[in-house]
Chains A and B, each alone.
Chain A
Amino acid sequence: MLAVHIQKRLPDFILDVSFSVQKEIVVLFGPSGSGKTTILNSIAGLVHPDAGIIQLNEKVFYRDGQKPLPVQKRNIGYLFQDYALFPHMTVEQNVRYGLKKGHELNLAPLLSTVGIDHLLQKYPHQLSGGQKQRVALVRALATEPDILLLDEPLSALDADTRKQCQDELLRLHSMWNIPFLLVTHDREEAEKLADVIFLIDNGTIKERKNEKSHSATSISR
């Protein structure tokens, strides 16, 4: 279980959120600049909160007064908004970059599930947007993470590819059985993918919505 309870002063407001995630797909939904990506970055360890606690299962990522756990030791998968594929490496080198020595994950089923097994020798600039997204997804999962963070993963795709990728994400989530924490400002996408939606505005959670049961409850802070 992921437990997040953090405060961080940002230029326009104070980010102050508190939530926990089991193994479902949680969508952080809200307008641009509302603090969603900062939440993902805090969990990943790319930025640090001013106060609070972040804990995944038994592992404490951040706690007041303690040295934050380095990014490298958090075992998270992160799908960046524009994929951040290494431009000088082939698809295969990209995907294998984070493989753990000793127990290398068998990549073949993962590659064929998302249909990129024929692209291994290509470079990122030779791929379409949808292909890049899939490669980045496989690369993030190849490290066998305990949680997958996705920052606007489908925003650069056309409508058809976006729909395919949404289906793939749902399929991979059911195969992988880890929490997916996804940031988006697209309502339709949030509703399609989410088990739980957190509506975020100006750094606070305004509403929590259980998509599967479609019952809405207001969060009071």
Chain B
Amino acid sequence: MIETNLTPLMLSLKVAALSTSFVFVLGMVFARWMTQKDFWGKNVLESFFLLPLVLPPTVVGFGLLLLFGKNGFLGQLLHEWFNITVVFTLTGAVIASIVVSFPLMYQSAVAAFTGVDRRLENAARTMGASEWRLFWTVTFPLAWPGLLAGFVLSFARGLGEFGATLMLAGYIPGKTDTIPVAIYFAVEAGQMDKALFWVIIIVSLGMGTTLWLNWWSRRNVRRYANQK
């Protein structure tokens, strides 16, 4: 039952790591912007950000295919300017993963930034701190527990992404066969042992991640409770 070809694990980790790095920064930037500014259409934009959470992954994948496909607006642009092809490549898997995990990071970051006492930021401003300095010295460290939770959730989501990835990146062994995709095609080919092996791996990874997150956030809640 032990699978010797570990490419799906490596690919999954690579996709999740790459997409989480992007999503962490993007989620933080947009969350900071949205918590500081009020503008017409903010609700609509926020709903758009959260859309991948409620849509079937296949619909997200279909949208991405339209956008990044050979004739899609972004697909053409990336191909002409940087010679990058998205469909049926690892880049496609990363993009799919970014889109579906973004809402998790965004929501966690909004909650984390909203939880930071505005008076602390104002105190820093009255002491002459620039917005950049106060963000890195006050807002970020105080929002860190929530940001880390978003990071871990996004990573786990990226690791388990299936529908949108299959639509955009397809199943090309050794290139785009992440664990969830490998499980699907193993079952389809009747290789139940192989599928079970990958199921055990991904359940362990998911369980490990959530266990660690629970333990860590409980420890943090205690630490913050003691500080008050």
Contact = CB atoms under 8 A, between A and B. Distances in A.
A100 B129 CA distance: 10
Interface in A45-103: 45-46, 71-78, 80, 82, 84, 86-88, 97-98, 100
Contact of A125 (B119, B127, B141, B226): B226
A100 B119 contact: no
Contacts of A140: 126-127
Given A86-B138, A87-B227, A125-B227, A80 B123 contact: yes
Contacts of A77: 126
A71 B119 CA distance: 13
A72 B129 contact: yes
B193 interface: no
Q: Which of B125, B126, B127, B142 has the most CB of A within 10 A?
A: B126
A73 B119 CA distance: 18
A87 B144 CA distance: 13
B138 A72 contact: no
Interface in B104-126: 117, 119-120, 122-126
A46 B122 contact: yes
A72 B142 contact: no
Interface residues of B, number: 19
B127 A143 contact: yes
A131 B96 CA distance: 53
A123 B224 CA distance: 12
A78 B122 CA distance: 9
A139 interface: yes
Contact of A98 (B128, B130, B228): B128
B207 to A, nearest CB: 31
A73 B131 CA distance: 12
A123 B125 contact: no
A2 interface: no
A163 to B, nearest CB: 26
A100 B227 contact: no
Contact residues of A: prevailing secondary structure: loop
B228 A125 contact: yes
Contact of A139 (B127, B128, B129): B127
B133 to A, nearest CB: 10
B142 A71 contact: no
Interface in A115-152: 123-125, 139-140, 143
A97 B129 contact: yes
A44 interface: yes
Interface in B156-181: none
A100 B128 contact: yes
Interface of B: 117, 119-120, 122-130, 137-138, 141-142, 226-228
29 contacts: A45-B125, A46-B122, A71-B125, A71-B126, A72-B128, A72-B129, A74-B126, A76-B126, A78-B123, A78-B126, A80-B123, A82-B119, A84-B120, A84-B123, A86-B120, A86-B123, A86-B124, A86-B138, A88-B141, A97-B124, A97-B129, A98-B126, A98-B127, A98-B128, A100-B128, A125-B228, A139-B127, A143-B126, A143-B128
